């Protein structure tokens, strides 16, 4: 398949796959800042750039509405991601974020917001190199403006604004295959509310299964099993940071998180991110934790239900508690909070609990990409320690 745009970009090209003469690291060297274009790229005449101020409730609502109606759908167009406003504000304002990286396109005449793309800064380690990157997400073009080559302009414009901060690499994920994934993960799904999932067409009744047997199969205990399990608090940030840094060091690609990052990305935020720690009843040491984020989907065309409540496994560290028990407790907590399904990638050590805890493989794949950074050999999902939202 030809990629008229991606063939022009500093990304691993399909034709280079397996070329062992190419070394790992930046594909192009950084340019002097004076060589970075100071003016935005040209848009078609009817449109104009806008920087979206996510502190502003009205702008945030416009972004929310654009994404709610036009963002990612499943292959059968039954569900569409429904990131909440609070989630968007959390995802887009981590420590050191740049407002200029929250980029919209408006119709000049009406000021209607019709496209969006974002970056946030991150330090990402690839083997033993920690690289400053942008995490690029929420690329969206209104349904009526599709296939007009607007996406490449959006991507070039976010690239330009990232370059202006002297950052030359980026990380992103997509369900589509582009040149060239450095790893590909699969989503697994654990039913918490099987009846609703079947009613809305998210899952199907298994062969030789009745509804009541299915409900029994997925039934979870009413309370968690791990002694000392409690919600993460601000005072846990140093301990969680230590646990997480040590845990992530085993993966080939993982974020390099400091206490500020952990406070932002892991401290519980109602209906956005949930984190629980295990505090040893004897030593009061934090020995383990789990976390998940909340990303509902709109259910398109169903009489009875309009929203699917989904929890997504985020970062989990099991040092003392068995991972299986810890994650079963995560399922119990999610069930208590009324989630319908718990999703997890086969990244990190997740393979070791997925089948055992009755997750089933989904049909969607998630491809991981780096911009302007070559990874020599594609990774196995179990070598990946990075979750993007
Ligand atoms: S993935 C979610 C992407 N969004 C959606 O799927 C929402 C629904 N779809 C749409 O809104 C998470 C449109 O279909 C979009 C494409 C806007 C996707 N990534 O305008 P045209 C992210 O947000 C290429 C990258 O005609 P369109 C990650 C496509 O291959 N490229 O298409 C975002 C083709 O190029 P090619 C994608 O359907 C990462 C060109 O766009 C893509 O009207 C962005 C066609 O453009 C995707 N998901 O709009 C990259 N989907 O070469 C960041 C399509 O094949 C890179 N395309 O001809 C790093 C930048 C920062 C660097 C800093 C140093
Ligand atoms: Mg377009």
Q: Which of 72, 297, 293 is nearest to 202 (CA)?
A: 297
- Read off the pLDDT of residues 228-262 as tens digits, 9 standing for 90 and up: 999 999 999 999 999 999 999 999 999 999 999 99
- Read off the pLDDT of residues 76-129 as tens digits, 9 standing for 90 and up: 999 999 999 999 999 999 999 999 999 999 999 999 999 999 999 999 999 999
Q: Which of 125, 169, 161 is nearest to 12 (CA)?
A: 169
Residues classed as catalytic: 389
Please check whether residues 199 and 123 belong to one and the same domain. no
The answer to whether the bond into 263 is cis (omega within 30° of 0) is: no
* Single residue among 124, 159, 180 that ends a domain in this structure: 180
Q: What average pLDDT does the segment 156-182 reach?
A: 98
Please check whether residues 88 and 204 belong to one and the same domain. no
- Read off the pLDDT of residues 185-225 as tens digits, 9 standing for 90 and up: 999 999 999 999 999 999 999 999 999 999 999 999 999 99
The Cα 300–Cα 306 span in angstroms is 7
* Single residue among 122, 151, 180 that ends a domain in this structure: 180
Model pLDDT, residue 144: 98
The Cα 104–Cα 54 span in angstroms is 11
Please check whether residues 234 and 378 belong to one and the same domain. yes
Residue 35 has pLDDT above 90, yes or no: yes
For residue 282, tell me if it sits in a domain.
yes
Domain residues for 33? Answer: 6-180
Backbone angles phi, psi at 15, to 5 degrees: -70, -20
- Read off the pLDDT of residues 339-385 as tens digits, 9 standing for 90 and up: 999 999 999 999 999 999 999 999 989 999 999 999 999 999 999 99
DSSP-derived 3-state class of residue 16: helix
Residue 20 has pLDDT above 90, yes or no: no
Residue 44 has pLDDT above 90, yes or no: yes
Please check whether residues 167 and 131 belong to one and the same domain. yes
Cα 11 to middle of ligand 1, angstroms = 14
Cα 290 to middle of ligand 2, angstroms = 39
Of all protein residues, the one whose alpha carbon is nearest to atom 55 of ligand 1 is: 3
Percent with pLDDT over 90 in the chain? 98
Tokens representing 74?
């499943």
- Band (163; pLDDT cuts 50, 70, 90): very high
Residue 46 has pLDDT above 90, yes or no: yes
Please check whether residues 197 and 175 belong to one and the same domain. no
pTM over 0.90? The answer is yes
Residue 242 is classified by DSSP as H
Cα 106 to middle of ligand 2, angstroms = 13
**Tokens 């309370």, residue located:** 223
Please check whether residues 172 and 241 belong to one and the same domain. no
Please check whether residues 155 and 272 belong to one and the same domain. no
To test the pocket of ligand 1, the residue of 139, 140, 146, 164 to mutate (highest count of ligand atoms within 8 Å of its CB) is 139
Please check whether residues 110 and 208 belong to one and the same domain. no
Please check whether residues 172 and 193 belong to one and the same domain. no
For residue 354, tell me if it sits in a domain.
yes
**CB 152 near ligand 1, within 6 Å:** yes
Residue 19 has pLDDT above 90, yes or no: no
For residue 389, tell me if it sits in a domain.
no
Please check whether residues 220 and 329 belong to one and the same domain. yes
- Band (18; pLDDT cuts 50, 70, 90): confident
CATH number, domain of 76, equals 3.40.630.170
Please check whether residues 142 and 29 belong to one and the same domain. yes
The answer to whether the beta carbons of residues 86 and 348 sit under 8 Å apart is no
- Band (17; pLDDT cuts 50, 70, 90): confident
**CB 3 near ligand 1, within 6 Å:** yes
Q: Is 144 exposed, middle or buried (0-12, 13-18, 19+ CB in 10 A)?
A: exposed
Please check whether residues 369 and 252 belong to one and the same domain. yes
Domains held by the chain: number = 2
Tokens representing 318?
């099991």
Mean pLDDT score across all residues of the chain: 98
For residue 388, tell me if it sits in a domain.
no
Residues 6+ away with beta carbon under 8 Å from 128: none
């Amino acid at each position: 398949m030809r990629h008229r745009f991606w063939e022009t970009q500093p990304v691993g090209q399909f034709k280079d796959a397996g070329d062992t003469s190419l070394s790992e690291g930046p594909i192009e060297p950084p340019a002097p800042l004076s060589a970075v274009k100071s003016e935005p790229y040209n848009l078609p005449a009817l449109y104009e750039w806008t920087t979206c101020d996510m502190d502003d409730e009205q702008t945030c609502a416009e972004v929310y509405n654009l994404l709610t109606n036009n963002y990612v759908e499943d292959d059968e167009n039954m569900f569409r991601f429904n990131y909440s406003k609070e989630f968007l504000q959390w995802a887009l304002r981590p420590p050191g974020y740049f407002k200029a990286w929250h980029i919209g396109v408006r119709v000049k005449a009406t000021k209607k917001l019709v496209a969006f793309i974002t970056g946030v800064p991150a330090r990402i380690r690839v083997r033993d190199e920690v690289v400053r990157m942008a995490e690029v997400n929420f690329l969206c073009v209104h349904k009526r403006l599709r296939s007009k080559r607007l996406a490449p302009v959006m991507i070039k414009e976010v690239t330009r604004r990232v370059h202006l901060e002297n950052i030359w690499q980026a990380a992103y994920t997509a369900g589509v295959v582009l040149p060239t994934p450095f790893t590909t993960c699969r989503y697994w799904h654990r039913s918490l509310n099987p009846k609703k999932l079947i009613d809305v067409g998210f899952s199907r009744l298994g062969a030789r299964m009745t509804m009541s047997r299915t409900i029994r199969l997925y039934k979870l205990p009413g309370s968690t099993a791990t002694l000392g399990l409690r919600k993460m608090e601000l005072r846990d940030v140093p301990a969680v940071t230590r646990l997480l840094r040590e845990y992530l060091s085993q993966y080939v690609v993982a974020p390099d998180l400091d206490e500020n990052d952990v406070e932002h990305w892991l401290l519980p935020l109602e209906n956005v991110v949930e984190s629980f720690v295990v505090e040893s009843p004897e030593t009061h040491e934090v020995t383990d934790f789990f976390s998940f984020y909340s990303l509902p989907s709109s259910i398109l065309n169903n009489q009875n239900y309009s929203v699917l409540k989904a929890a997504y496994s985020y970062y989990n560290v099991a040092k003392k508690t068995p991972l299986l028990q810890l994650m079963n407790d995560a399922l119990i907590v999610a069930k208590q909070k009324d989630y319908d399904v718990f999703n997890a990638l086969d990244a990190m050590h997740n393979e070791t609990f997925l089948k055992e805890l009755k997750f089933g493989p989904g049909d969607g794949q998630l491809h991981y990409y780096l911009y302007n950074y070559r990874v020599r050999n594609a990774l196995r999902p179990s070598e990946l320690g990075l979750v993007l939202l």
